[in-house]
């Protein structure tokens, strides 16, 4: 059993990366509901992200999305982040919102469109240079809506070639994080629909390409922690996009839909020591706060990851190994459940107090007056959304 101090130290070492777009407006295809105080530019998004770190002490980096977060001077943006106590994290490319990408980007049948999409990624590598980030994160909307619409096989060849061109432009300290998704926005076939496809491309690219596992991007019933284990075994789990879902890619707060699943995922992580920074697994949030206030929702999400990690750290490894070796099905399961059923909130409150933080980050944020201030200050101007 880990000591309480060891557990605390391990939790302290895990930083959750927030996403700039989580603070902007988002919604479904039916409606985007605006919220008061929503940021109007990347600087304001980072200011909001910094609030999450301020109250949790556990969200030290912010992912950007290009072009949503395009600014004239990225080093100014990076300095702004540092001033607020956070750093720029992964740079996400966006090749799904330009009219040219209607039939795909890196796998488009038209070579000119593919070249444009590759070029966009080279621009993102420039942002890596300007911000000091090392992670180029790629999620593609590429796919087909109708059988026959394009050649499934040819699209893989085009995709492989486009990715190779991008990979060749990376610096040594850079890496590609390649995401997969079961469906949406393509409804018949997606060009990278599963971890097998993403891993196949990463293996072909080289050592500096790893898979992104978005917890909402799987078929119903998929055992996600199994995939976590397989990717760790292959040395290719680059990052998580954490969120939760009941049905499809619902992008709800992580831990909200199935907290036991989140715990099982963290148990696989802890079992392979991948919670440690040296593992280079980037624990990111990728969520849409469509109806709930965004900053406290992100705070809650960070707390949920911490709680799941704390429980995973409380699993008694010796008792587990013994019960497993004995073929004691109920006993081994009970070791896991004992940890899961523990109320870890007092431990996390104590950790925060150790670190000079308020034990209740959401209450502290709400008392701070920050929301009231931004709601007033940002009343004018266009709110940022997924396309702004």
Closer CB to a copy of itself, residue 126 or residue 250?
A: 250
Regarding 356 and contact with a copy of itself (CB under 8 A), the answer is: no
Closer CB to a copy of itself, residue 168 or residue 330?
A: 330
Going by C-alpha positions, the residue among 201, 214, 122 that lies closest to residue 155 is 201
Exactly one of 233, 235, 353, 367 binds a copy of itself (CB under 8 A); which one? 233
Closer CB to a copy of itself, residue 9 or residue 321?
A: 321
Regarding 226 and contact with a copy of itself (CB under 8 A), the answer is: yes
Stretch that binds a copy of itself, among 124-132, 287-295, 350-358, 374-382 (CB under 8 A): 287-295
Regarding 219 and contact with a copy of itself (CB under 8 A), the answer is: yes
Regarding 370 and contact with a copy of itself (CB under 8 A), the answer is: no
Regarding 277 and contact with a copy of itself (CB under 8 A), the answer is: no
Regarding 384 and contact with a copy of itself (CB under 8 A), the answer is: no
Exactly one of 9, 122, 329, 375 binds a copy of itself (CB under 8 A); which one? 329
Residue pair 19/62 in contact by the 8 Å Cβ criterion? yes
**In whole angstroms, what is the distance from residue 158 CA to residue 160 CA?**
5
Going by C-alpha positions, the residue among 103, 59, 113 that lies closest to residue 283 is 59
- 84-103 footprint of a copy of itself as x/- string (CB under 8 A): ------------xx-x-xxx
Which tokens sit at 178? 């390649």
Q: How far is the CB of 132 from a copy of itself (least distance, A)?
A: 29
Q: Counting Cβ atoms within 10 Å, is residue 173 exposed (0-12), middle (13-18) or buried (19+)?
A: exposed
Closer CB to a copy of itself, residue 161 or residue 258?
A: 258
Q: How far is the CB of 273 from a copy of itself (least distance, A)?
A: 11
How many positions of this chain bind a copy of itself (CB under 8 A)? 104
- Report CA-CA distances (Å) from 15 to 11, 28, 231, 305: 8, 29, 20, 10
Q: How far is the CB of 130 from a copy of itself (least distance, A)?
A: 26
Q: How far is the CB of 182 from a copy of itself (least distance, A)?
A: 7
């Amino acid at each position: 059993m880990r000591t309480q101090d060891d557990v605390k130290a391990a939790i302290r070492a895990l930083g959750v990366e927030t996403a700039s777009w989580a603070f902007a407006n988002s919604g479904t295809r039916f409606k985007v509901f605006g919220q008061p105080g929503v940021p109007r530019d990347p600087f304001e998004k980072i200011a909001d992200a910094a609030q999450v770190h301020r109250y949790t002490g556990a969200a030290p980096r912010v992912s950007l999305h290009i072009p949503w977060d395009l600014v004239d001077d990225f080093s100014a943006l990076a300095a702004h982040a540092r001033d607020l106590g956070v750093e720029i994290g992964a740079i996400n490319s966006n090749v799904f919102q330009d009219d040219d990408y209607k039939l795909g980007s890196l796998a488009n049948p038209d070579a000119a469109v593919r070249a444009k999409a590759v070029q966009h990624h080279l621009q993102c590598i420039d942002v890596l240079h300007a911000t000091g980030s090392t992670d180029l994160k790629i999620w593609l909307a590429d796919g087909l809506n109708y059988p026959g619409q394009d050649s499934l096989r040819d699209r893989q060849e085009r995709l492989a070639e486009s990715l190779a061109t991008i990979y060749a432009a990376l610096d040594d300290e850079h890496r590609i994080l390649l995401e997969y998704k079961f469906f949406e926005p393509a409804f018949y076939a997606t060009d990278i629909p599963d971890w097998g496809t993403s891993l196949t491309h990463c293996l072909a690219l080289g050592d500096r390409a790893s898979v992104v596992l978005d917890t909402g991007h799987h078929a119903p019933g998929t055992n996600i922690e199994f995939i976590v284990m397989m990717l760790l075994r292959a040395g290719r789990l680059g990052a998580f996009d954490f969120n939760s879902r009941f049905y499809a890619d619902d992008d709800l707060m992580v831990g909200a839909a199935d907290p036991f699943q989140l715990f099982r995922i963290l148990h696989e992580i802890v079992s392979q020591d991948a919670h440690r920074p040296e593992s280079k697994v980037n624990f990111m949030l990728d969520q849409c706060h469509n109806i709930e206030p965004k900053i406290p929702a992100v705070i809650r999400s960070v707390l949920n990851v911490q709680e799941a990690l704390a429980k995973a750290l409380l699993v008694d490894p010796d008792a587990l190994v013994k019960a497993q070796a004995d073929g004691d099905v109920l006993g081994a399961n009970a070791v896991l459940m004992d940890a899961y059923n523990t109320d870890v909130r007092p431990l996390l409150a104590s950790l925060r107090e150790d670190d000079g933080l308020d034990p209740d980050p959401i209450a502290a944020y709400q008392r701070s007056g920050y929301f009231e201030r931004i709601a007033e200050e940002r009343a004018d101007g266009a709110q940022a959304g997924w396309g702004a």
